[in-house]
């Protein structure tokens, strides 16, 4: 479904800080998806992957915000056109995920020379965590 020139979708971001008190971003990544369900799945999968190294009790506490009511509430907010987010203390690092409805504008192809080398790397939240520039 399109609205005028744009196509509805969800813009997701993950920001990692070295600690809950840190003001400096350690890493940032984004992901564009087509629906609230895809956004909730991507954020949930990423949070579960990050919490995988934590001990049992801490992992269960971290994941309680990802599964069940938290996930349903996030999808409901996105369906209403509202942003949502999740913030977790993952073993000392502070991680924030956010998702918000957007309209994606189409990219118009152009004529002319093309790049001779196009490389495809990992996309979305699957990209490795990298340090932010100073």
- The two structure tokens encoding residue 47: 């949070």
> Mean pLDDT across the chain, nearest whole number?
80
Q: Specify the pLDDT at position 50.
A: 83
DSSP state of 83: -
Residue appearing with tokens 């506490």: 61
Encode pLDDT of 66-116 as tens digits. 776 677 888 889 999 999 998 888 878 899 999 999 999 887 666 655 555
Mark residue 81 as left, alpha or beta (left: phi above 0; alpha: psi -120 to 50; beta: remaining): left
Token pair in block for residue 60: 């269960």
Looking at residue 93, what is its pLDDT?
A: 86
What is the pTM assigned to this prediction? 0.73
Q: What are the phi and psi torsion angles at 58 (to 5°)? A: -65, -40
């Amino acid at each position: 479904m399109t609205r005028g020139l744009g196509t509805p979708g969800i813009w997701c971001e993950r920001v990692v800080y070295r600690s809950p008190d840190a003001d400096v971003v350690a890493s940032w990544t984004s992901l564009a998806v087509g629906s609230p369900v895809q956004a909730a799945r991507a954020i949930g999968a990423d949070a579960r992957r990050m919490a995988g190294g934590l001990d049992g009790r801490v992992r269960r506490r971290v994941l309680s915000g990802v599964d069940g009511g938290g996930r349903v509430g996030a999808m409901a907010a996105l369906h209403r056109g509202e942003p949502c987010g999740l913030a977790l203390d993952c073993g000392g690092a502070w991680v924030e995920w956010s998702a918000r409805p957007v309209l994606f504008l189409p990219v118009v192809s152009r004529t002319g020379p093309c790049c001779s080398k196009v490389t495809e790397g990992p996309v979305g939240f699957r990209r490795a965590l990298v340090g932010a520039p100073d």
